[in-house]
A = this chain, B = another copy of it.
Amino acid sequence: MATKQKREPLSQERIVTAALLLIDAVGLAAFTTRALGKKLGCEAMAIYNHFASKDELLDAVADRLMSKTVLPSEGSWRERARALANSYRALARVHPHAFPLLATRRGTLPSAYGMYDRVFAATMKEGLDPFAVACVFRALAHYCTGTALYEINTTAAHADGSATELPPEVAASLPSLAKVAVYFTPTHFDALFQFGLEALLDGFERALLRRAAEQA
């Protein structure tokens, strides 16, 4: 029995899924309502029946992306924080083109509310007060966001060869920069990230102990 409908009907679900795939494939700059329409088998304007604007669609894509972060269900706050940080950074590796949406858009991301609640509850159960939890969580998130954006930009620059090395004349006149910049390449991404992450966690562990002692 031949069907009358050419395509299955549109929905926010389907549109967001296609949008993320298209962004992954062509990048944010080439992500166009018209191109998305073509991918979905409809006209670009059909999308506006499901999203008020391209901007709202991008919010939904960011939310979808966030929902892919994995929170481990066991372990101390430190172990969980470490796992969450790595999961967030992994997201940037899988979706380098879409990830900046998470860092650039306003607003809270509803799909992460449940996850936040679980981490925060577990962390407070270990004795941290809400302010301390806020500090740890925000600092970790910001560290990961900044790292991910840097890694994405640098990887892209290395891929198209636009910034592989420090210009030789710069290296010659700024020797300290040259010595350190050796470690600013993709080869060392993992080492730097893990070192910084542990330092951050160490620092927090100490700060929180000190804080607890003061309040006792």
Contact = CB atoms under 8 A, between A and B. Distances in A.
Report, nearest first, the 7 A-B pairs whose CB atoms are least far apart: A203-B203, A142-B146, A139-B196, A199-B203, A134-B183, A145-B146, A121-B176
- How many residues of A sit at the interface, in one of the four size bands? 35 or more
Contact of A162 (B107, B182, B184, B199): B107
A146 B141 contact: yes
Nearest to A105: B153
Interface in A157-183: 157, 162-163, 166, 170, 174-177, 179-183
B170 A113 contact: yes
A15 interface: no
A100 interface: yes
B135 A192 contact: yes
Contacts of A106: 153-154, 156-157, 162-163
A133 interface: yes
Contacts of A184: 134, 138
A89 to B, nearest CB: 11
Contact of A192 (B104, B138, B206): B138
Contacts of A31: none
Interface of A: 100, 103-108, 110, 113-114, 116-118, 120-121, 124, 130-131, 133-135, 137-139, 141-147, 149-150, 153-154, 156-157, 162-163, 166, 170, 174-177, 179-184, 188, 191-192, 195-196, 198-204, 206-207
Contacts of A103: 103, 146, 149
Nearest to A108: B163
Contacts of A175: 117, 121
Given A156-B106, A199-B207, A203-B200, A114 B179 contact: no
A198 to B, nearest CB: 7
